[in-house]
Amino acid sequence: MAPNASKPRSSRYRDIATRLQKDIRLGKVEVGHLLPTETALMEKYSASRQTVREALRILRDQGLIVRRAGLGSVVIASEPPVLFTHSVTSLSEWLRYSNETYRDVVTHRDITADPKLAALLKCEPGKHWFLIEAIRRSDQFAAPLGWTEIYVLRKFAGVVKRSDHGRTPVHEQVAKMFGQVTEHALMEIFVRGMPAAIAKPLGVATGSPALTVVRRYYGLHDELFEVTVTTHPEGRYTYTMDMHRALRQRL
């Protein structure tokens, strides 16, 4: 039996796409050069033409290659240029990331805010939180969009066990499970050097440019019950806001 022949086709073409993406990133196929032909890829991976074409479609959608009739697949980038643009036109969209992305949970634990963390979260030192750390993705085969740290009050830790946890905003999960409604929220965006602790999982160098988005959610009596800190490597995430002047109602 040919290698990986028992794998379902949906798994095979994604596996092939991942291998080709790695070859491009490592410079085995340089920018401006051609990938092997479909026939060569079929032989190399013991795959059907349709499976190979689906793998190439993933690379094209990621902005790594262009396919030219009579020429083949030309590598145009070693990394996807801008992987995701988040456009905001309403308050509900402002409070959440796009439904086209999801969180891949890495770890979770109880944590107590030291003075440095308290300054970032804008809470009192010694405050107890439940921390959920995750990688935000648009596709499991594309480079990560960013690293997300979600701090919720310990009494809301149960959200991490929900089946929809990775795709539903945590403040919405808190509302559904515990009745905690967001009365108001604040967002802060700033640039910083990529922290060493999350540089490796994001595939970038420590200290490289990073965009950080902090969202703070407040409930009744102005209680801070959730803070999310998402750090994006340079060039992987664009945040846009589309605002319109409200028309005065005619009397």
Instruction: Mark whether 31 and 137 lie in a shared domain.
Output: no
Q: CATH code at 57?
A: 1.10.10.10
**CATH assignment of the domain containing 188:** 3.40.1410.10
pLDDT score of 96? 53
Enumerate residue ranges in the chain where pLDDT < 70.
Answer: 1-10, 80-99, 241-251
Is 181 in the same domain as 210?
A: yes
Same domain, 70 and 112: no
Determine the structural domain holding residue 172 and report its residue range.
84-241
The pTM (predicted TM-score) of the whole model is 0.63
pLDDT for the residue 68: 81
* 161-195 b/e (C-beta count within 10 Å ≥ 16 → b): eeeebeebbbbebbeeebebebeeeeeeeeeeebe
Are 215 and 185 in contact by the 8 Å Cβ rule? The answer is yes
The whole-number pLDDT of residue 244 equals: 58
Domain assignment of residue 114, yes or no: yes
Q: How many domains does the chain have?
A: 2
On whether both 180 and 71 belong to a single domain, the answer is no
116 and 138 co-located in one domain? yes
The predicted-structure confidence for 152-174, as pLDDT tens digits, reads as follows 999 999 999 999 999 899 999 99
Task: Judge if 54 and 114 occupy the same domain.
Answer: no
Query: In this structure, are 94 and 201 located in the same domain?
Result: yes
Residues 93 and 68 in one domain: no
d(CA 105, CA 195): 19
- From 18, 12, 26, 29, select the one nearest 59 (Cα to Cα): 18
Q: Are residues 88 and 46 in the same domain?
A: no
* Structure confidence at residue 94 (pLDDT): 52
| Residues 27 and 93 grouped into a single domain | no
Same domain (yes/no): 204, 179 = yes
